[in-house]
Amino acid sequence: MMNVRSKFQNTLSILLVAGILVFINILGSFFYGSWDLTEEKRFTLTPATAEIVSKVPDVILVRVLLEGEFPAGFKRLQQSTKEMLDQFASLSGYIEYEFEDPNAGTIQEINARREELRKDGLVPTNLFVRSGSENKEQIIYPYAIFSFGERSIAVNLLESSADQDQETNLSNSISLLEYKFANAIHKLQYKEKKNIAISTGHGELEAEYAKSLISMLYPFYNVGRLNLDSVVQISPEISLLIVPRPIRKFEDKDKFKLDQYLMHGGRILFFVDGMAMTLDSLAVRNEYIPEPLDLGLGDLFFEFGVRIEPNLVLDIECSRIPQVIGKQGGKPQIELFPWYYHPLVASKGNHPIVSNIDRVNFEFVSSIDTLRTKTPLKKSVLLSSSQYSRYQLAPMKVGFDILRYKPEPDKFNKPNLPLAVLVEGQFSSLYENRVTEEMKSTLSSLNMEFRPLSDPTAVIVVADGDLPRNLYDAETGKSAPMGYSRWEKTTFDGNKDFVLNAVEYLIDPNHVLVARSKQFKLRLLDKVKTEKEKTFWQVFNIGLPIVLLGLLGIFNHQIRKRKYLK
């Protein structure tokens, strides 16, 4: 009788435990939760992201084109994408997602789907997979398409920097998932696009050479060109003013417009050259003596706490240009050489504007000095030269003779020269105690008053006017993407990312851009220690579970023995 009762109790206990486990699994399918124990809080959403996601007003459907069999690294990206979307869905019931395999179906279906994706601008990635002794090529579409009503945004999940290995690229891709997803959701909900003006009237980039800049901003902002000479003030409805590569001097009346626009909370992004120098200057001569470019902005920049030096920065880390090294069969032999006047700059800081971006290619850039200001302003160096850099002060000679000699690192002894600086805070007016009667009359006609101190705002100064410039072929009418090198046949995506991030930060500094600064650290094993202690850990990992299992069996046997002896 006791034996039957004992069996009944054991069966009841097993059923009770199984029922509890089933109940927990059912609850788990409806609720998502996690406990982030990582050092860098990898799985914790930033407050800005959480706020954006929690306020989604209606269903946002996410189609992830990353279903199928992939190598371990891409499986990690696939799993991380799912986990990130689960986190988003836990904050809002309006986030729905599904994974699709774009390579599934018949050949006709696959080709039709690929053509549809091509029309949407989604370019596939060729993935080379090693299977046993053979390599095979696999076409994948690492995209997530966010749809809200009739609007949709495609997000590229894969970061691909040419100077980094696949593991690093995948880790960077995973670390940027939160920013990319939150940014897409944020932009899908724009009720009204904010206004961006690109200045003209001082020889700024012509429309053909600003095409890439405008097309990059156009889907999310109202973008127009503003001639400062044709307006009496810069409208406060303009959220951001971009000044791209001016070459003519700013008179007081135009500087006053910039000054008061800033005093009323406006934000400005300057791309300004310190020296009048381009590579075309060497097209018909062996050397050239560039002159400092006087734009009349020095006193205005002084109020910002920055000064563009009359110099050119040279860096061993640089892009390349072609040179003829001889002739063969009557045809010139051309080879690419490092051109130190075109620094290739890697981000060193953790500021959201430059965090996790690819290298930025500068052309004939000057260094920036930071100064004390009347009001306390926060100055952040966004981009700086490498540890192997130097500068040439004006007057200097620039020529191709420098390519004849191998660089001596000891002579590149001016490291980390600032090339792009962000200034934030309350600015003082350049025209305090200097307002003329004409300026007073202009303000009076606009029912405005002179402001000697700004609202909290921000300015970015980049000492390279050509950074946002794209190439343009007048014969064909075609233009290249921003950052494209005609000689290296590659696009430096860092240029585009830097400009776009700078724009987004200036327009909305509390934006989800802060999520870019999150890092996904690769904690690699110590190879020497691993090899030395390999045998110990093999025995430990295999032997310890067996020993514990044996001890548990002995303990269980003794308990049962004592129980039934009674």
Task: Please classify residue 22 by burial: count the beta carbons closer than 10 Å to its beta carbon, then call 0-12 exposed, 13-18 middle and 19+ buried.
Answer: exposed
CB 242 within 8 A of CB 462: no
Q: What structural domains does the chain harbor?
A: 25-187 (3.40.30), 195-517 (3.40.50), 528-553 (no CATH)
Three-class DSSP labels, 117-140: HHHCCCCCEEEEEEECCEEEEEEE
Tokens of 175: 């670390």
Band of pLDDT at residue 28, cut at 50, 70 and 90: low
Identify the three-state secondary structure at position 241: strand
The fraction of the chain above a pLDDT of 70, given in percent, is: 87
Question: Residue 179 has what pLDDT?
Answer: 84
Distance CA 51, CA 45 (A): 10
Q: Is the pLDDT of residue 74 over 50?
A: yes
- With a CB cutoff of 8 Å and minimum separation 6, the contacts of 290 are 275, 276, 277, 281, 312, 364, 394, 396, 398
Q: Is the pLDDT of residue 450 over 90?
A: no
Name the residue among 468, 464, 535, 525 with its Cα closest to residue 501: 468
Question: Residue 524 has what pLDDT?
Answer: 47
Band of pLDDT at residue 522, cut at 50, 70 and 90: very low
CB 152 within 8 A of CB 167: no
The residue that leads in pLDDT, 540 or 215, is: 215
CB 118 within 8 A of CB 77: no
Q: Is the pLDDT of residue 38 over 90?
A: no
**Residue 249 CB: number of other CB atoms within 10 A?**
14
Distance CA 173, CA 218 (A): 25
Beta-bridge partner residues of 128: 137
Of the given ranges (64-68, 157-161, 240-244, 458-462), which has the lowest mean pLDDT? 157-161
Band of pLDDT at residue 267, cut at 50, 70 and 90: very high
Question: Residue 6 has what pLDDT?
Answer: 61
Please state the rounded mean pLDDT for residues 495-514: 83
The residue that leads in pLDDT, 118 or 237, is: 237
**Residue pLDDT, tens place only, 379-419:** 999 999 999 999 999 999 999 888 888 888 888 999 999 99
CB 113 within 8 A of CB 65: no
**Residue 486 CB: number of other CB atoms within 10 A?**
11
Question: Residue 387 has what pLDDT?
Answer: 93
Q: Is the pLDDT of residue 532 over 80?
A: no
- With a CB cutoff of 8 Å and minimum separation 6, the contacts of 254 are 201, 202, 228, 229
Q: Averaging pLDDT over each range in 334-338, 439-443, 497-501, 550-554, which range is the top one?
A: 497-501
The identity of residue 566, as a single letter, is: K
Q: Averaging pLDDT over each range in 277-286, 326-335, 361-370, 444-453, which range is the top one?
A: 361-370
Q: Is the pLDDT of residue 448 over 50?
A: yes
Name the residue among 346, 339, 208, 212 with its Cα closest to residue 277: 339
Name the residue among 419, 415, 356 with its Cα closest to residue 386: 415
First vs last C-alpha separation in the chain: 15
Q: Averaging pLDDT over each range in 268-277, 343-352, 398-407, 466-475, which range is the top one?
A: 268-277
Mean residue pLDDT of the chain comes to 84
List phi, psi (to 5°) of 439.
-65, -40
Distance CA 10, CA 181 (A): 50
> Using omega within 30 degrees of 0 as the cis cutoff, is the peptide bond preceding 395 cis?
yes
Please state the rounded mean pLDDT for residues 480-491: 90
Please state the rounded mean pLDDT for residues 110-137: 76
The residue that leads in pLDDT, 68 or 216, is: 216
Q: Is the pLDDT of residue 5 over 80?
A: no
Band of pLDDT at residue 204, cut at 50, 70 and 90: very high
Of the given ranges (222-231, 237-246, 275-284, 301-310), which has the lowest mean pLDDT? 275-284
Q: How many helices (H) and strands (E) does the chain have?
A: 13, 28
Tokens of 33: 């939760």
Of the given ranges (34-38, 186-190, 509-513), which has the lowest mean pLDDT? 34-38
Q: Is the pLDDT of residue 351 over 50?
A: yes
Please state the rounded mean pLDDT for residues 35-52: 67
Please state the rounded mean pLDDT for residues 37-63: 77
Q: Is the pLDDT of residue 176 over 70?
A: yes
Question: Residue 30 has what pLDDT?
Answer: 57
Name the residue among 336, 282, 342 with its Cα closest to residue 312: 342
The residue that leads in pLDDT, 307 or 280, is: 307
Q: Averaging pLDDT over each range in 292-301, 434-443, 448-457, which range is the top one?
A: 292-301
Q: Is the pLDDT of residue 37 over 60?
A: no
Q: Averaging pLDDT over each range in 12-21, 50-59, 508-517, which range is the top one?
A: 50-59
